[in-house]
């Protein structure tokens, strides 16, 4: 893909991604104010089990389909691409339907899984979305592999818009059922509508449902990714289910523990994931490019693409780290009117850097055919996550949740970078500049904190945030560009030239 087209594509993908995340973020704020921390925590607990089940049918298969579609498009094998699409769609839908049927037949098991029966009721209303999510994820992945980013990105935005509109309708006072049930209904209907839209677009773009084939190839490639997602989601679910119980054991009330988890997972973490709007756009464009370069065996371009993407991810993650650490307290008060959310955000800000870099590292590792290696790194990281979270819940309280996540992301990042170098033979020249970028982030952070202490309680909350943000961004960009640590043209070049091996 020519450089100008790549840059234009990234603008489109980033625009939709930022819009989607902004809508989701605003939606979280709305829900936190309308439902409260406790109800939001209950929905988050029910959603965590739903996401665990969705991993079986809608995680590894879409990623594998997108890569296989991109590879087959390079060699012009459209028939094989359609066969793999049919195989992944059938596998995903059957798996999702099986889980839904089991829980509807044996709903009593939910009383064992959920300490609060309300979470179990929410989960039962969410279950139909397992099937629609499968159709949605698989069909979007087909467009991703074809590099049809407009459909791929716009449907995600449509899904978020529908969820917001339907949720506002179904949690209103005109309905007799509880608000959390209305939220679950909105979730399912939004997914259903988007699935229908995607299928219509699939056939309009000359997609075909053909007799499925290549099941072994699909399962072999997707199994490690699915396993990774399942383990991650399982850990998230167990944390949602058990951490409030552990916190109660260490002295918190049940309502207090649920609210604390609601703040951490339902308020703070969506803010922490904000860099993914940019990093995710980069990864979306990067995956088909890497798959194509791998098939063409253009190793110099491959190395250049991955290293430049790693530096871009570091730069973005560092900017958010400096901003959140400096203005976290004020952001928590402004967005949620909750002082505790602000305190949590400052601690959680450390996550933005390893999470951003790891997004690119793991995408690259999976796309290069080393999905099994990513599975093992995740397994190690999750063991550390569980140990730190539950081991430190006594002395740290809810902050053990963030300590575990920080340990997980740093551990898996180190392992994934090692695996990229050892098994994928990627020369990680970017590692020489990452420490310097992080040092610039710390300088910007200190400048932001200095402004915070000067302005604290002297001007309004929103003005304080704006001044801190301006100070952080200005100092961060000025120093990084001034010392030659930021080169956006080369970062988003994505292997345009075979001679573009030097990372700037």
Q: Where are the domains of the chain?
A: 1-224, 273-498
Give the number of other CB atoms < 10 A from CB of residue 205: 12
If you count them, how many residues does the chain have? 504
Listed range (53-57, 95-99, 251-255, 268-272) with the worst mean pLDDT? 53-57
Q: Residue 7: its pLDDT value, please?
A: 58
**% residues pLDDT > 70 (the chain):** 94
Q: Residue 295: its pLDDT value, please?
A: 79
Q: Tell me how far apart the alpha carbons of residues 247 and 388 are, in angstroms, rounded to a whole number.
A: 14
Listed range (5-19, 218-232, 257-271, 294-308) with the worst mean pLDDT? 5-19
Q: Which of 409 and 291 is assigned the larger pLDDT?
A: 409
pLDDT at residue 149 greater than cutoff 50: yes
Q: Tell me how far apart the alpha carbons of residues 397 and 104 are, in angstroms, rounded to a whole number.
A: 36
pLDDT averaged over the chain?
86
Residue 467 — very low, low, confident or very high, per pLDDT cuts 50/70/90?
Answer: very high
Q: Residue 281: its pLDDT value, please?
A: 75
Q: Is the dihedral of CA 159, 160, 161, 163 positive or negative?
A: positive
Residue 498 — very low, low, confident or very high, per pLDDT cuts 50/70/90?
Answer: very low
Tens digit of each residue's pLDDT (9 = 90 or more) over 243-290: 988 999 998 888 888 888 888 987 899 889 888 877 877 777 777 778
Per-residue pLDDT averaged across 134-163, rounded?
A: 90
219 near 162, Cβ under 8 Å?
no
Alpha helices in 368-398 (DSSP H): 371-391, 393-396
Using alpha carbons, select from 264, 241, 345, 233 the residue that is nearest to residue 37.
264
Tens digit of each residue's pLDDT (9 = 90 or more) over 321-380: 999 999 988 998 888 888 888 899 999 999 999 999 999 998 888 888 787 888 889 899
Helix then strand count (H, E) for the chain reads 21, 0
Record the pTM.
Answer: 0.73
């Amino acid at each position: 893909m020519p450089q100008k087209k790549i840059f234009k594509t990234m603008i489109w993908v980033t625009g939709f991604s930022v819009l989607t995340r902004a809508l989701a973020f605003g939606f979280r704020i709305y829900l936190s104010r309308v439902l409260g921390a406790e109800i939001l925590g209950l929905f988050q607990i029910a959603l965590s089990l739903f996401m665990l089940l969705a991993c079986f049918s809608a995680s590894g298969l879409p990623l594998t389909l997108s890569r296989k579609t991109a590879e087959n498009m390079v060699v012009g094998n459209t028939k094989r691409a359609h066969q793999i699409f049919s195989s992944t769609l059938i596998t995903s839908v059957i798996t999702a339907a099986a889980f839904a049927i089991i829980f509807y037949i044996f709903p009593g098991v939910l009383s064992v899984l959920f300490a609060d029966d309300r979470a179990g009721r929410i989960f039962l209303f969410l279950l139909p979305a397992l099937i629609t999510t499968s159709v949605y994820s698989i069909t979007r992945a087909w467009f991703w592999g074809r590099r049809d980013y407009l459909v791929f990105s716009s449907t995600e935005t449509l899904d978020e818009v529908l969820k917001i509109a339907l949720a506002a309708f179904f949690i209103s006072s005109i309905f007799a059922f509880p608000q959390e049930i209305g939220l679950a209904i909105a979730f399912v209907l939004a997914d259903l509508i988007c699935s229908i839209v995607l299928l219509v677009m699939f056939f309009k773009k000359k997609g075909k449902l053909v007799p499925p084939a290549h099941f072994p190839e699909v399962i072999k490639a997707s199994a490690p990714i699915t396993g990774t997602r399942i383990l991650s989601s399982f850990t998230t679910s167990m944390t949602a289910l058990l951490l409030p119980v552990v916190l109660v054991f260490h002295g918190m009330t049940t309502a207090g523990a649920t609210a604390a988890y609601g703040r951490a997972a339902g308020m703070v973490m969506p803010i922490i994931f904000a860099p993914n709007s940019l990093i995710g756009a980069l990864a979306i464009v990067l995956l088909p490019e890497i798959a194509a370069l791998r098939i063409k065996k253009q190793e110099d371009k491959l190395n250049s693409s991955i290293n430049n993407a790693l530096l871009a991810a570091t730069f973005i993650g560092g900017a958010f780290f400096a901003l959140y650490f400096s203005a976290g307290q004020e952001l928590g008060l402004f967005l949620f009117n909750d002082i505790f959310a602000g305190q949590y955000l400052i601690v959680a800000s450390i996550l933005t850097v390893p999470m951003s870099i790891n997004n690119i590292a793991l995408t690259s590792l999976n796309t290069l055919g080393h999905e099994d290696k990513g599975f093992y790194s995740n397994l190690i990281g999750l063991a550390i996550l569980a140990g730190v979270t539950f081991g430190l819940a006594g002395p740290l309280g809810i902050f053990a949740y963030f300590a575990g996540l920080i340990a997980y992301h740093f551990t898996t990042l180190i392992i994934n970078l090692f695996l990229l170098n050892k098994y994928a033979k990627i020369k990680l020249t970017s590692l020489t500049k990452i420490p310097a970028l992080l040092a610039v982030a710390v300088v910007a952070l200190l400048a932001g904190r200095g402004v915070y202490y000067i302005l604290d309680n002297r001007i309004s909350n929103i003005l304080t945030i704006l001044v801190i943000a301006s100070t952080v961004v200005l100092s961060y960009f000025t120093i990084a560009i001034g010392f030659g640590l930021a080169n956006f043209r080369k970062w988003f070049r994505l292997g345009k030239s075979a001679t573009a091996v030097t990372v700037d």
